[in-house]
Chain A
Amino acid sequence: MLSTKERLNADVTVRTKALVGAKPILSKRRVDILLAIAVTAIIAVTALFLLFPVVVTVLMAFDARDYIGPFPPTELSTRWFGKLLEDAYIWAGFRTSLLLAIATTAAAAAMGALAALAISWMSPRWRDFVTTMFLSPLVLPGVIIGFGLLMFFAAFNQVPVFLKLFAGHLIITLPFTIRMTLVGLAGISQTLREAALSLGANERQVFFTVTLPLAKNGIAAGAIFAFAASMDDLTISLFMSDFQTYTLPLALTTLIKSSFDLTIAAAAVALMGLTIVLLIVLDSVLGLERAMGHGTNRIR
């Protein structure tokens, strides 16, 4: 009896001989290898392309020159970070953005979860229609939403700017929380609900002991996306802000237009750092894979 390894070796020898014997110009195996190299190269180029702006921003943030010079920096310093800490304009924007993102996320998560739950109870025909309607802000250009809201709020006197921003951000973040909660709910088997009902729990008890705990990860994932979308939004904020209440992206954009200054690069790096910290915290609390994925509720 040959061992598995010996048999494998013998097999390889036979196949190699066959290849040598045939001697084609481009063997099947060689085509495979070339293809693998090509795919790897494409992935590498794509990754470089995606990372390039980040790398440039990070390097420029440490530029010692006091004007926006050509890349790469000739000398490094942390002067722009020092300036960032003192910049009241950016800090005010950051404060508004953070408060706005927190408020929006909380509201969008709660409303989105409830909406998704209602949608999941609908008949398939209505479900599709209502889902499409709720998700439409994703495809509607922000300019249109912003302009529409501007016209709408113009009908009232003195609506606080923060409230206007909140309303706008709620519209663009709700699709994320609804979508992710729906994904979470879809992972919950109908038989779990029926099992709980047959064990004596009524609909309300089933919701709190089975549905909600299992949809939790989906809701959390939606909240993460909502937070990111709110922090990132420029278009809606542009329409809703005034000179006193503005968001961080708006402040940064204004800054880049008005002054040739690298504080904006420092701010971007600070934001990146903040995002990484946030992701690490989330990962340790929830498990990022679990929050983003949707296979968490399956047993097998």
Chain B
Amino acid sequence: MNVLELKDVTKKYGGFTAVENVSLELEPGKVLSLLGPSGCGKTTTLRIIAGFAAPDGGTVQIAGEDVGQLKPYERNVGLLFQDYALFPHMTVAQNVAYGMRYRGTPAAAIPSRVKQMLSLVQLAGMEARYPSQLSGGQQQRVALARALATDPKIVLLDEPLSALDAKLRLELRIELKEILRSVGATTIVVTHDQEEALSLGDEVVIMHAGKIVQRGAPTQIYQSPASKLVAEFVGRSNWFQATRGSSSIAGFTSYVTSDGVEIRAKSPPSDRDGRVNLCVRPEHIELMDSAVTEAPRDADHNSIAGVVLDVASLGPDVHVVVELPGKARFLAIRKNVRKIPGLAPGQCVRVLFSASDVLVF
């Protein structure tokens, strides 16, 4: 049975529709990421599930029970807030125990449960500290322990890692995933950060303008985005505006960009006759020094001549901006390894990418 079921949930604020006909279901123990830009309705969806906002239409069921009319404290939903929302006048132990006091945990069982929760989030011995005495990462763990202590049916995480710095974020992301898995929490992560969404979720739901635009596994979302919108939002991409080209090779569709460059895609031709948008991910691109080699040109390979504009080394990756014919700019991401020779601005290169890596919208 599904732990959570939203059916055609709609929420309006005045004339603005924040959430429109959203349906979701979630199996026990699964982690679902709700990803979208700000204002896409993901936070409203979270607030509807938590009970802070009442839907104008549709039904919300938690563990088979219709909770649409229940107050937040009448449903057992654990919430992790972006700012952690720890009670500043209570110790760590009191914070973690807070929910248990009201969710009917016997008073005698509370101290041992607090201890258990704190060791789960690796904060054993911090019981007597106040939130102001903890680091950001520690505060987040206390908030997680507090949310999990009442054994909620669903755990809702609101931008769980966004308040942390980059290095800590990676550490806590791995830890957060482990903890959620170890307690078997059914979880919804709401975030605008694609890395957070893709890494934490077993499945990802992309929202835009109050609607769900795609749902799928993280790799699927990235590799086969359902629309231009999704492709734009998840990952980096290079875009070409193009029309259908004349040359035809079996299994390929040919397009001509507005700058006259021919690009082949492996996907079947789009139904639309007019303009299409071609998308190529920067990490699918190979750059070759055109002075050294003449690029192999088989049917599967696209090859465009260009000039290197800028090279930026970001540690593991090198971002190379290449100017293509018609002043179009193109980003290629290469691994920063010794065996790939470096490039310099002004150098003439060949931009190579496989036809199967071209996405057509």
Contact = CB atoms under 8 A, between A and B. Distances in A.
Interface of A: 189, 191-192, 194-202, 205, 209-210, 213-214, 297-300
B139 A199 contact: no
Contact of A194 (B72, B88, B101, B147): B72
A212 B170 CA distance: 38
B50 interface: yes
B78 A198 contact: yes
A201 B98 CA distance: 9
Interface of B: 50-52, 71-73, 76-79, 81-89, 98-99, 101-103, 131-132, 136, 139, 146-147, 150
Contact of B81 (A194, A201, A202, A213): A194
A199 B81 contact: no
Nearest to A198: B79
B73 A198 contact: yes
A67 B85 CA distance: 65
B60 to A, nearest CB: 15
B83 A200 contact: no
Given A191-B82, A198-B51, 6 more contacts: A191-B83, A195-B79, A195-B86, A200-B76, A209-B98, A299-B86
A178 B276 CA distance: 62
Contacts of A298: 88
A213 B78 CA distance: 23
Nearest to B50: A198
B78 A299 contact: no
23 contacts: A191-B85, A192-B85, A194-B52, A194-B72, A195-B79, A195-B86, A195-B87, A195-B146, A196-B98, A197-B72, A197-B73, A198-B77, A199-B73, A199-B98, A199-B102, A200-B76, A200-B99, A201-B73, A201-B102, A214-B89, A298-B88, A299-B131, A300-B136
Contacts of B50: 194, 198
A264 B63 CA distance: 76
A207 to B, nearest CB: 13
Contacts of B77: 198
A21 to B, nearest CB: 39
B133 to A, nearest CB: 10
B132 A299 contact: yes
A113 to B, nearest CB: 17
Contacts of B84: 299
A191 B81 contact: yes
Given A198-B79, A199-B102, A214 B88 contact: yes
A299 B98 contact: no
Contacts of B132: 299
Contacts of B131: 299
Nearest to A195: B85
Most chain B CB inside 10 Å of its own CB: which residue of A191, A197, A298, A299: A299
A38 B71 CA distance: 62
A213 B89 CA distance: 7
Most chain B CB inside 10 Å of its own CB: which residue of A192, A198, A213, A297: A198
B106 to A, nearest CB: 15
A199 B146 contact: yes
A10 B82 CA distance: 47
B145 to A, nearest CB: 12
Contacts of A191: 81-83, 85
Nearest to B130: A299
Contacts of A299: 84, 86, 88, 131-132, 139
A96 B136 CA distance: 53
B218 to A, nearest CB: 27
Nearest to B132: A299
Contacts of A196: 87, 98
Contacts of B102: 199-202, 205
